[in-house]
Chains A and B, each alone.
Chain A
Amino acid sequence: MRLSEGQLRTVLAWLVMVLLVVPVGGALWLGVAHGESPCILCWAQRASMVLMALVALLVVRYGPRPRYLGMLLLLVGWGMFMALRHSGLHLARDVGQGFAGTILGAHTYVWAWVIHWAVLLVAGVLLLLVRGPLAASASLEPGRAGRVAMGLLVVMAGANAAQAFASTGPPPFIGQSDPVRLSLDPRHWVWSMDAWRGPVSWRGSWAIPAPDPAAADPDPAHGPLVALPTLDVLRWEEVTASLDGRLTGLAMHHTAAADGEAFGGADRVLAVTDRRGIQVLDGAMARVLHRVVPDRGYSIDLSPLAGATFVGGDTMAVLATNKSYILLRPDLGADAAREWRHFRETDGTMAEVRRGRFATVRARQMYALALAYDPAGDELITVSVPSPRHRRLVVSRFDRGDLTLASEFLPRLGPGLERRDAERGLGDYLVTGADVADGHLYAISAAYSTILVVDLASRTLTAAYAVPGLSDPVGLAVRGQELLVAQGDGRIAVLPRPTRAAPGDTRPVAD
């Protein structure tokens, strides 16, 4: 089958009528009959459909000039982008959720995608069927179908203008993100300028800068909580083993712990570095017993490593700042061929058990630099760091069995703790290390050099302590009645573990 230019114009005229009646007219009908008003993004997609019809009418009237075809390509391309961009806001929501109503089970913004695709496909087919070269021809009479289509376009553009007047108002008022239903009663009209306001970013709300603990203010006197007691450093220890980079996280397996028989009943220290080194040290932190450098590009992307913990038995977990994790285990008989895919470097004595991502709810769009393990609940725990979008401290707990979110909370302030003013809060802290003991989460904040003590049962910050003299704290571990705060330079501040985790009470646990 071949089309002459005259036939092409007639077919186009009918297609324009279909485009104007079905999607554009259908959208108008939704407004008039059901009160459903388009949002600002829907308006643009509807305008794109009318413009595609208008370009087709230019072809009907003046012939298939290249600039018309170019305009159609721009419209289809931009229209598909708009529909995908708009749908992207909602496609990944939970089952059945979306924005406004549906047509045949799909929301209107999804149909915009289908319509632009259909226009592209139809245009391609028509061009394939055209007989002879496309040539700019003198203006021809459009025929009856063409005239009807042109009249229909004027009517549709006018009807949309009327709806736009009621729904969005005259310029400079502009469409809204959450438009109210269409009404002919002016008292119900909402004319808004909100869309003109707000931060502009091509990357949008996902532009979250990586955390930088080194830039945090270490002075406890500037923290969000006032009149905090001080925990004095009892002594300093040091990682004397040769690490492959600057320390970014540290955990300790202590023989006094519930599963103290792991690792042959010996103390072990897990250290991670800024060169993605994962090293298991002896209890004296003098020797490297196992070492690997995971391949960050294999499968799940690992951002810089920042947290570490022992998770029972001889299994260890390492956290990347983007909340991806690796589970590892010492394995003297590790299969070198199998582990090659996991590790860039290895001493051959470690095996990767699992690699995954922690999915949070309240801590989305926030990085995490601290990982802990609660043996009582058999849960892994992350603590978020504030981001420009969300300034809050979120404790997220993941079931050890399926490593899926079990619960989340923002700690409440316990009695005796006071904020400096209403603008300050726990979101000002930047937690870089954490550990769990006796039902309490102990965390160190690089901002304001503060130890935070959270009762996991009551989800309450029961105590906080200023620790003067710290520099770049990156990890925290509980060792019996002591807290070890690791710094990036490998020095370890040894602090007394507060007794009852109450303000002002700094007696060691053993007292």
Chain B
Amino acid sequence: MELLNFLIMLWAGWLVWRRPEREHLAFALVVASFVLMALLFLVGTRGSLVPGVNL
């Protein structure tokens, strides 16, 4: 899944660099990558927002 995320970033970076007229698509890819990154982190913590601590 991390591979997919970096490929999305690679695509977005390419658009900004070589296809600047595709601004909306580039930004949409950034948002999608952010959401995927956040989800992958939560998968890694099994949804737990806190480590082993008392609240």
Interface residues of A (CB under 8 A from B): 39-41, 43-45, 47-48, 50-51, 54-55, 57-58, 61-62, 67-68, 71, 74-75, 78, 82, 85, 88-89, 139, 147, 150-151, 153-154, 157-158, 160-161, 164-165, 167-175, 177, 195-196, 198-206, 365
Contact = CB atoms under 8 A, between A and B. Distances in A.
Contacts of B17: 57, 147, 150-151, 153-154
A78 B46 CA distance: 17
A168 B1 contact: yes
Nearest to B41: A44
15 contacts: A40-B43, A45-B41, A50-B6, A50-B9, A54-B16, A54-B30, A54-B33, A58-B23, A68-B27, A150-B13, A154-B13, A170-B3, A173-B1, A204-B49, A206-B50
A483 B35 CA distance: 62
Nearest to A150: B17
Q: Is the interface of B mostly helix, strand, loop or mixed?
A: helix
Given A195-B44, A206-B54, 9 more contacts: A43-B2, A45-B41, A51-B34, A74-B34, A153-B17, A154-B10, A161-B3, A172-B1, A204-B50
Contacts of B40: 40, 43-44, 47, 174-175
A58 B13 CA distance: 9
A408 B44 CA distance: 33
Interface string B21-33: 0010011001101
A97 B55 CA distance: 24
Contact of A161 (B6, B37, B51): B6
Nearest to A44: B41
A54 B13 contact: yes
B46 to A, nearest CB: 5
Q: Is the interface of A mostly helix, strand, loop or mixed?
A: helix
A177 B44 contact: yes
B43 A196 contact: yes
Contacts of B45: 41, 85, 204
Contact of B2 (A48, A150, A164, A201): A164
A169 B1 CA distance: 8
Contacts of B31: 71
A190 to B, nearest CB: 13
Given A171-B4, A175-B1, A175-B40, A200 B47 contact: yes
A174 B6 contact: no
Given A54-B12, A168-B1, A175-B44, A203 B50 contact: yes
Contacts of A198: 46
A153 B13 contact: yes
B48 A71 contact: no
A160 B48 contact: no
Nearest to B51: A88
Contacts of B12: 54
Contact of B6 (A39, A47, A48, A78): A47
Contacts of A48: 37
A175 B42 CA distance: 12
A61 B20 contact: yes
Contact of B53 (A67, A88, A172): A88
Which of B9, B26, B49 gathers the greatest number of chain A CB atoms within 10 Å? B9
Q: Pick the 5 closest A-B CB pairs, nearest first.
A: A204-B48, A150-B17, A40-B44, A88-B51, A44-B41
Contact of A51 (B23, B37, B50, B54): B37
Nearest to A92: B53
Which of A55, A71, A164 gathers the greatest number of chain B CB atoms within 10 Å? A164
Contact of A175 (B2, B33, B46, B50): B2
A154 B14 contact: yes
Nearest to A205: B52
A8 B44 CA distance: 37
Nearest to B49: A202
Contacts of B1: 168, 171-175
A58 B34 contact: no
Nearest to A365: B52
Given A44-B40, A171-B3, A173-B1, A71 B34 contact: yes
Contacts of B9: 47, 50-51, 54, 153, 157, 160
Contacts of B23: 58, 61-62, 139
Contacts of A158: 6, 10
Contacts of A44: 37-38, 40-41, 44
Which of B2, B38, B52 gathers the greatest number of chain A CB atoms within 10 Å? B2
Contacts of B48: 201-205
Nearest to B17: A150
